[in-house]
Amino acid sequence: MNERPGAPERPSVRVTVGQVLGSADRPANRQVVGDVLRTAAHVRSDLVVLPEYASAFEPHGVGPRHAEPLDGPFVSLLQDKARETGVAVIAGVTLPGSEDRAVNAVVAVDGGGALVGVYRKVHLYDAFGHRESDRLEAGPVDAPPLVLDVAGLRFGVMTCYDLRFPESARRLVDAGAEVLVVPAAWADGELKAMHWRTLAVARAIENTCAVVAVGMAGRGVVGRSLVVGPDGVVGLELDDVPAVRTVDIDATRLAEVRATNPSLANRRFTVTPR
């Protein structure tokens, strides 16, 4: 995996990481996201990954007042820009839920502008003094894994707190994922940045897959997006301020690591929802 300008040289897949500063100002967020997508198009990326809650964010908690439907302005912007540029997008959004709850979700839009999947967060962040379940409802655990093809690589989608549950990553890998994508607004606090990095690296090593973990920048969150190779080597790591960076993920290297370390073939247990 290496960071370099210009057109991707196949079999690499070019991914732009948008570590944006989110806010409750939805039009401002759309402007920021539009800028990231223009940057990605300029460097000929195949995919843009944006954080959890990219459509609207508040450090004190995201809930129903931040929600908008899939046909609302944020997802429509993603579709329009993907259609214009040919760049696929994975981004965290907040959708309307039932009664007084919203849904923490991740949408996947292909390079033609089609909404190809929605992952609704299964593990709500009821930990470290936070209670997402006070404002959000969890997605169904038995929903099909969201795995999409981008330029010949398979990207599996999870989000934030899911990173602490290795079975979530393994279920995606079982569904064919070669790259795990983790949009997040990882809450800051004692040891939290260390946990974020360690868990992303662990998920890569144990699944012999790449990990693209994209954090929200700003107050109350750690930022610190990183891209990890299937051997656990960190190829890109940001600090806690807004940034846009692009990397190439090498499909050949991924195959080599899996051939050398066939841990997926050697496993003796399966993962099933409960």
Of the listed 68, 81, 121, 132, which one is catalytic? 121
- Calculate the alpha carbon distances from 116 to 79, 108, 141, 181 in Å: 10, 6, 19, 15
Distance CA 199, CA 194 (A): 8
Of the listed 68, 81, 132, 160, which one is catalytic? 160
Distance CA 16, CA 89 (A): 9
- Nearest residue to 66 (alpha-carbon basis) of 92, 33, 102: 102
Of the listed 52, 68, 132, 137, which one is catalytic? 52
Is residue 81 flagged as an active site residue?
no
Is residue 192 flagged as an active site residue?
no
β partners of residue 149: 154
At 55, is the secondary structure helix, strand, or coil? coil
In this structure, are residues 210 and 229 in contact, taking their beta carbons and an 8 Å threshold?
yes
Tokens of 188: 């800051």
* 11 cis-preceded (ω within 30 degrees of 0): yes
| Segments in 175-209 forming alpha helices (H) | 192-207
Is residue 52 flagged as an active site residue?
yes
Write the burial class of residue 140 (CB in 10 Å: 0-12 exposed, 13-18 middle, 19+ buried).
exposed
| Segments in 43-132 forming alpha helices (H) | 73-85
Q: For 205, what's the count of Cα atoms within 13 Å in the CB-facing half-sphere?
A: 9
- The position carrying tokens 């066939």 is 262
Q: For 239, what's the count of Cα atoms within 13 Å in the CB-facing half-sphere?
A: 1
**Catalytic residue ranges:** 52, 121, 160
